[in-house]
Structure formats: structure tokens, C-alpha cells
Structure 1
């Protein structure tokens, strides 16, 4: 692999050049064409929804089933990094970083918006508001529960295993080593790495676009500042510079510090809402919502809307699965980078179960606070959200005490998650485009951070939400195929690793037994 020896910039040219050119061309076209581009993207999005939505459902369910089987199988004892490896980060730092990278902005943006929209317009016809509320949380929990975190967990496990146990570069091509051997360094490897970079960048741009829209709504609520595309672009520009500063500080300082700050602010924000809101109602809702989810997870997870005449699933479940899949190479590589020294069972439990429970609590606290207002006819949150989904959180907060203070905290949290997602994403793209280097020069990190911000800006100019959603769909489809092939490759690699461990144990036991026999003979001779 030919790489630059420059200490400031370091490129793996077969991946860096095509990925950078594709993104820069897309940015240029989006900025030049502007709003008319959205109609074109809308047609493509609907075509993908209708023809291959089922494939996203199949992919996500497959990854969840395999994750569960691996966690409780004989492979669960395999340690990432080998038998003597130890974790690089404390549990709190580990949880903070994987959670901040995984879903931070999504929780803030949809914490109120999704439950209240499903409550106002039930995906499946129901009898009355109570049934509508129950269904709202069943589908919300589906979208932020075990399924998306299993996508993250499986690809992160594959990255960690092939990087730390097989000593391969931290790139997507390494996931196929058991199937292709040294051929991963050829054209196939270049293509899958390039696809991963593009998927990462579009997934990041979508998330950053959502964050910009919500911050604009918050500033409008607090200070009357117009929530315009122009102001959203200003916000993206400022936070991209903040992310760049964090990147310069590195993983152990900037990213870790911001991630821990994120989770602390998020917990404080959630606890304040739990106390200020209808506390007993929220706690009751949390238990009942989890029960509903567990009872219906198979039906919900395999729901394809085949017997319905609506297009609800296209705009929600299919989009979510595409979003998580497009986001997965970024989150997977980042989680893998910070997870050395943990067993597969510990890893999958930490990546899949704990974030799921936290997400459920988050959506219950904020979503149920909004639905409580609706059920008791104290506010029309759904009416406001139907006009602008990004206003959902602030429309809910204004009906509770200390709304201004809570809104300020919400904006700070969005910014913090925004910066963390951007700098984490830049590190990950940097890993891939430098051939898997874990400590690549800072210059390339800065380049990708600026590209991420520019891409998010161009997508807002080129049509806003519909354009964001379409680009995610386009990036996710080829990567969904890659994920399925990766799963087979991982299972093959784990089987070989377990056989190696068994051989080691046999040899070690043989040495111990030999030593014991020799000592016994020596003792007998001494007597």
C-alpha cells in the first residue's frame, strides 16, 4: 500500500482520492443546483423505499439474531486483543464514548418528535388515545432498541476482532480476510473502503443536518432568531470548527472529554425532566413501555406493511434502518477502537443492552411528558410538530416549569453531541483513508472534519430533510450487502480463533502435566 510519508498528511491514495472526489463533486452539484435537486432525490428515495425496503428489514433482523447467538455462545469468552489484553478505558469512559458516537443527536431530535407523531397519526389504526400512546412507544422503542444497536455491535465486533486479534488494519477491507486472504489489498478492498467512507460521511451529514435544524428551533424559541437555512449553515460552520479543535486534541483528550461531558449533561437533563414532569406517570410508563416492546419485538421487527395501504414505514422504519446502516461503519470503527481488552460477551452486552435501556428511559421521560400533556388536553404538541418536527422538544418544554433553563441545556447538549459526532467521524474516516492507521497525522483529520461540515451544508442547500434522507438510502443499500457478507466472514474468523485458543489450552495443560510428572519423579528419586 503506497502511502505518503508526510508527517502532516497521510493518504492511502486508492481510497482517499476516489472518496474525496465523489464527495466534492456531490457537494458542488448540490450547491450549484440548490432546491431543484430535492425533487430528483425524492423520486430516488421513493423508488428505494418501495423496491428494497424489505432488504433493510431482513439485514437488521439478521444482525440482531447473530449478535444474540454470539453473546451466549462458546465464542463469548474470546477476548478482543488476545488472552492478556486489558481495556484502554474505564467502563464509564467506554459507555460515554460509544453512546455519544452512536445516537446522541438522534435522541435529542426524536425524543419528543417520534412518540408524539406516532400518537397523533398511529402507524396502524387503533381504538382511542390510550392504544395510540401504547403503539407510539412500541414503534419508537423498535427504532432505538436492540435492532439498531445490534447493527452497531456486530460491525464494531468485527472491526475489533480483525484489528486486535488478527492484527489487520482498522479498515472495512479487513473484515473479509477469512474469505479473500491477501486479495483484500486489491481492487475489492479499495472499493469497500471507499463505500464505507461515503456511507460514513452521508450518515454523519444527515445527523448534523438534523442537529442544525433543532438548534435553530431552540434559538428561535429562546431568542426569536429565525430558523432559516442561512442560520443553520452558520451553526454547522461554528460547530465544525469546534470539532476540528477537538480532533487536534486527539482521542484520549478531546473526544473522550467531550463524550463524558455529553453523558453527564444528558443524565442531568433527563433527571431534571423526570422530576419536573409527571414523575409517577413517567415511571409507570417506563415499565409498561418495556413490557409492550418485549411482548411485540418479533412482530414489530418483521413488520413490512405488506397488508397496509400507507407509506408510513418508508418514512420511519426503513429510513431508520438505512440511517443506522449508513452510520454503522463510523460507529463500528470508533467503538472497536476503544474496546480492546473486553470479551465478546462483555462487548455485546455493553454495546447492545445498556444503550438500549438508556434510550428507552430517555424516550419515556421526554416522549411520555409530551403525551401526558396531550392525553390531559393541556397542550397541542402534535399540532406544532406537524408543522415543524424540529420544534418538538421545545414545544414540550415550554409547558413545564423552568422551560428556558431546560431549553438552554438542550441546545448545549445538541451542540456537544454535534461536535462529538463530527470529531469521532473524522477520526474514523481518517483511519480508513490512511490504510487503517490508528494514530494518523492530524492534517487528514482536519480535512475530513471540514468536508463533513461542507457536505451537511450542501445537503441543506440542496433540499433539506428529503435530500438528507435520500443520500442515506443511497449510501446504505450497498453497505447492507457488505454487512451480511461481513457477518459470515466474522463467524468464520471466530471459529478459527476458538480453535487456536483450544490448541493453546491443550499445549499449556500438557506442559503443566509434564512439569508435575517430572516433579513427582524427582521427589521419588529424592526419597
Structure 2
């Protein structure tokens, strides 16, 4: 899934450059205490009652997706329709802030491309299609030729237009609020106060702000549990395969400790800027890796399979968006489509703030098209190359990824797929080190963001304390460590995402309402877009 590996963005409009040192910042002890208590309780339950916790999580996942799954699918589809309408309508000409854009078109688009890539993305690009081949939607029989033909198209659907439209909904609402309405704060609570017409200093607005902070923290934990656990499992399996070792919990714990130490040192001694440069370089190296796979694999098959899948994605887009399989009591849409929309929801606040910061001087139409062209296009290219190679490996009888999912794990399939490429050993080391770099930079940015949210009255230019950043570095590693210890299933990891992301549905609904409110009251004669 998407990892925001750019400069850390927070709910308090802070940066890591030129910190203000005059005013002493104060930690939000209540927010920290509640978070610590919840994390500690969950870790203890996972360690001492893993089976019961996973069973309860499975029940909760089913209850949530059965009750709200169709609504979430409708909302996601409505987000696409809203963004497309705004892009082609008169509202698309509205300029978000005065002056010229700060970044060139290519630099700006590359930032969106980077926002869609990350450590977990590198696993899903090889393996997601295999899950779908074993059991897919649209009433297609699993493990059939039609399932194989449709597998990449569903991957492209889940990483394509819809999630980037969801990002666009939150981003344009935030950008209009900040650049056009000239709001003082670039944060989620300020946006909600404006949408709901509350007084900024009222008790209601303070309670809502605190509630949003908690929702944001827990959603961040939910998203990181999946990203971190999948990444560490994949890297540990890869190194175990390379060096002929047994893939034990100890190896996974050591890897997670090394990654944690890296981003903890970054947070404490201030090398975050260097890590962010590494993260940007990692984005470029991701595409270099994809090009290697494209060239070293069966290029003709990979390109043909991608083009065919693109056609299926576009021609079946509406049906994929609204497919529920109600008559057959199927669960594919709940297990994957609803899960993915909720997973993308967890990143929307950070992405909205990030897009707002880099899009001053752009029009709404440019932002919508930029997100789809940059974010969606980048993901499709990366997935097209790696998934196409993985499918070709099964067709040629080299590595059967779907069979390995059933008999072993997806991590082993990834290791074997890379090993079977020319220069397999070199590419394997490159791939697994790249995953670790992505994860370290992402966790570093997240630790800074979470520390900023849990600091009271943090002013623009101020940093949260080093001690608080280190505290969150450790906290962000505890839940993934517990998941690794109990060898949690993918269903358990998906449950963590689903339960923590669900409250963001309300936030995004308010964004849609707020955007309509802002645009309906917009005075074109007073703005520079004319």
C-alpha cells in the first residue's frame, strides 16, 4: 500500500526545517496515555490470547463489511463521479492560491508517483493477482483461464482511479479551505470546524479536534501494522532463502529492530532530511527495478497482458465498483474491494495535507488530473511489470505463485520469482534492501507526524520533542512485533486496517459535503482563475 515517504506532514502544519526554539512545546499527556494503554492492551492480548483475538477480529471484520460494505463501495464510486465532474466543469478552473506553482510539472507529478509507492507495494505487485486468481469477483470461477485473464485488471482497479479520486476529494477540499478561504491552520480539525460552521474556540470544536486526533492515531497504527508486518515477513523470508537460513521469529525481530533503530536515530539526532532524500531515491530505484523486470522477463507477454488488463479494467469499471455478489453470498468484494478502500482511507489526511502544500497556484483540474496521471499511472506501470512477470512465470511453469499461497506463503513466492530472474541474487539483495529503506523512511515520517499530533499547541516551524519522537518510534514497532510473534494471518492484518479506518468514512463524507459547500459559495469574479 501507499507509503507517504515525502517530507513528513502533520495535522498541525509543522515542518522539520528551521524549528522554532523560543516557546517550549508541551506533550498531550491524555492523548499519549490513551494511546499507550490501548497499544499495551492489544499487545498483551495478542501475546497471551492470540487465537481468541484473531477469531474476534475475524468476526468484527465480517460484521463491519457486511453492514457497511455496500455503502463504502457506493461512496467510493461517488467520489470518482464527483472528481470527474469537477475536473470537466467550470469549477475545475478555480485556482488554489495566488501566484505561480512552486514546482515544475514534472517534479510535481513525480511527487504523486512517489506517494503511491512503498515497501508493501513491492510485495503486492508480485503477489496480489495470485490471491485473486484463487478466488475472484464478477462471478468468475477461481483458478480458471478467465480468472487468470482478469486478475491484473482487478489489481489495477484497486490501485487505480478510485483510490486516487478519494485522495483527490480530501485534497481539493483541504486545498480550497487553506489556499482560497485562507484558513489559518492546515489541519483536519480546522477543516471540519469550517465545514460544520463551528466556532474555533468552542468546547464542541475542541472535543471534535481531540476525537479526530485519536481517530488519526489509531488509523495510523492500523495501516502500519499491515505495511510493517508484510514488509518484514517478505524481507526475512528473502534473506533466509538467499543465505540458506531458517526463517525464525528471531530473524524477523532483528530485522524490525534494525529498521526501528534506523528511524529512531533519525528522529533523535536529526538525520530525517537524509532519510527523505533516500526515500526519493528509492522511488526512482523502484522504477529502475520495474524496468529490469520488464526487460529481463518476457517483455512481449508482459506488455500484452498489461494492455489487455487495462482494457478489462476500463470496460468493467462500473461493475467492479458496485459488484457485491449478493445472490451467491460471495465475500470477494468485502475481503478485497471494501478492505482496500478502507486501507486507502487511512492515508487520506496525510495525503490531503501533502497535496495542499505542494499544489499552491494549481487549478482544481490540474490537481485531479495530476493525481490520476501521476499516482494512478505510476502504480499501473509498476504493477504491470511485476505482475506480468509473475503471471508469465506461472504460465511457463517456473514459479506457481497461487499454488505457493495455498501450500506455503506469498513471501516464498516473491523470493523465488526474483531468484529466477537473470542476475537473481543481485536483484534479490537490491529488492529486499529497497524494501527496508522504504519502510524506515516511512516509519520515520510517521513517527514525526504522530508526535506532532500528540503535542499541544505546536506552532508552525516547531518540532515535537526528541523524547516524544523516540517514544513513538518504539510504539510504532510494538504492534507489528506482536503480529510477527503470533505469525498473524493476512486476514488478521486486514482486520486491523478495517476496524481502525472505518471512522474515516464519516470524515470523508464531511469532506464531500464541505467541497459542495465551498464550491457552491465560490465567487468566480473575485478570483484569479478568470
Distance of aligned partners of 1:11 and 1:260 in 2 relative to their CA distance in 1, 3 Å threshold:
same
Q: Are residues 308 and 12 of structure 1, via their aligned partners in 2, closer, same or farther at CA, if it must alter by over 3 Å? A: same
| Cα offset, 1:38, TM superposition | 1.8
1:221 counterpart SS class: helix
Determine if the alignment matches structure 1 residue 142 to structure 2 residue 157. Answer: yes
Residue 388 of structure 1 corresponds to 409
SS of the aligned residue for 1:83 comes to coil
Verify: 1:473 aligned to 2:498, yes or no.
Answer: yes
- 1:460 and 1:449 map into 2 onto residues whose CA distance is 17
Change (3 A) 1:27 1:85: farther
Give the TM-score normalised by structure 1. 0.85
1:441 aligns with 2:455: no
Q: 1:424 aligns with which of 445, 450, 468?
A: 445
State whether residues 401 and 410 of structure 2, in contact with CA within 8 Å, keep that contact through their aligned partners in structure 1: no
If you compute each CA radius of gyration, which structure gives the higher value, 1 or 2? Answer: 1
> Whole-Å Cα distance in 2 between the matches of residues 279 and 324 of structure 1?
31
1:457 maps to which of 453, 459, 481:
481
Name the counterpart of 1:517. none
Match of 1:376 among 368, 376, 396: 396
Partner of 1:503: 526
* CA offset digits 1:140-184 (Å, max 9, x no partner): 111111111222222233333334443332322122213233256
Using the TM superposition, give the Cα deviation of residue 264 of structure 1 relative to its aligned residue in structure 2, in angstroms.
Answer: 1.3
Counterparts of 2:111 and 2:268, CA distance in 1? 17
What is the CA deviation profile of residues 372-412 of structure 1, one whole-angstrom value per residue up to 9, with x for unaligned ones? 12223344232123221223322222332211112112102
2:170 to 155, 163, 169: 155
**1:398 paired residue among 395, 405, 419:** 419
Aligned partners of 1:75 and 1:252: how far apart in 2? Answer: 38
Q: What is the CA distance between 1:272 and its match in structure 2?
A: 0.5
Looking at structure 2, the residues matched to 359 and 375 of structure 1 have their Cα atoms a distance apart, in angstroms, of: 24
Report if the CA contact (8 A) 1:330-1:425 is conserved. no
Distance in 1 between the 2:365 and 2:527 partners?
Answer: 21
Which position in structure 1 is the counterpart of 2:15?
none
| Other-structure match for 2:512 | 487
1:204 is matched with which residue: 224, 234, 237?
224
Compare the two structures and name the one with the higher helix fraction: 1
Report the Cα distance in structure 2 between the residues aligned to 1:246 and 1:92, rounded to whole angstroms: 29
Provide closer, same or farther for how the CA distance between residues 504 and 309 of structure 1 changes in structure 2, counting only shifts above 3 A.
closer
For residues 419-457 of structure 1, the C-alpha deviation after alignment (integer angstroms, 9 at most, x for no partner) is 232123233334433457554424244433332122322
Superposed CA RMSD in Å reads 3.1
Pick closer, same or farther for the CA change 1:77–1:329 going to 2, 3 Å: same
Q: Provide the C-alpha distance between the structure 1 equivalents of 2:424 and 2:485, rounded to a whole number of angstroms.
A: 31
**Mapping 1:109-508, distance limit 5 Å:** 109-123=123-137, 124-126=139-141, 129-165=144-180, 166-176=182-192, 177-182=194-199, 183=202, 185-247=205-267, 253-254=273-274, 256-386=276-406, 387-434=408-455, 437-442=459-464, 443=466, 444-461=468-485, 464-465=488-489, 466-496=491-521, 498-499=522-523, 502-503=525-526
Q: Number of paired residues?
A: 501
SS at match of 1:125: coil
Q: Secondary structure at the match of 1:411?
A: helix
Q: CA deviation at 1:113?
A: 0.9
Maintained 8 Å contact 1:101/1:424? no
Match of 1:22 in 2: 38
Structure 1: how far apart are the matches of 2:358 and 2:470? 21
1:32-61: CA deviation from partner (whole Å, max 9, x where unpaired)? 544542222222222223222212212222
Secondary structure of residue in 1 paired with 2:422? coil
Matched residue SS, 2:413: helix
Q: Is the 8 A contact 1:34 1:461 kept in 2?
A: no
Indicate conservation of the 8 Å contact 1:381/1:395, yes or no.
no
| 8 Å Cα contact 1:242/1:419 also seen in 2 | yes
| Aligned residues of 1:255 and 1:424 also touching (Cα < 8 A) | no
Unaligned runs of 5+ in 2: 1-11, 13-19
